[in-house]
Amino acid sequence: MDESIGNEGKILIGTIKDDLHDVGKNLVAMMFKGAGFEIVDLGVDVPKEKFLENIQQESPRLVGISALLTTVLPNVAEAVDFLISSGVNKPCKILIGGAPVTPEFARDTGADDYAPDAGSAIQIAKRLIGK
């Protein structure tokens, strides 16, 4: 039995509304779980309201928003703005990622950071939550 699972904190993860791709999200979730995080996976096509509702219910340390399609980047920006406006980004950091996401886009959205790939997501998450 691996007692480290969940000891690093809880992470909520999902693919943004109008994007049905989950391979990258699933890979990141598996890597987080292997690193000792408890994962709440919302799946794909997740609207901003569902992210907020689950953040309020689950109290994660971090929320990860994934996108593969360039056409859904406005949805990512809208979701980040919505979450920041709700105040959840104080106790909960926002990490975005996916193929079309760039450092500039992440900065412009107000997200706490972005992960360029699954391998770096763990290090960035740990830095964001102070681990």
Domains, the chain, ranges and CATH? Answer: 9-92+109-128 (3.40.50.280)
What confidence tens digit (pLDDT) does each residue in 17-52 have? 999 999 999 999 999 999 999 999 999 999 999 999
Average pLDDT over residues 62-82: 97
Reported as type and span, the H/E element at residue 1 is none
pLDDT, position 91: 85
Query: Of 70, 69, 60, 68, which Cα lies nearest the Cα of 112?
Result: 60
pLDDT of residue 5 exceeding 80: no
pLDDT, position 55: 96
Residues in the chain, total: 131
pLDDT, position 27: 96
CA gap 76, 127 in Å, rounded: 22
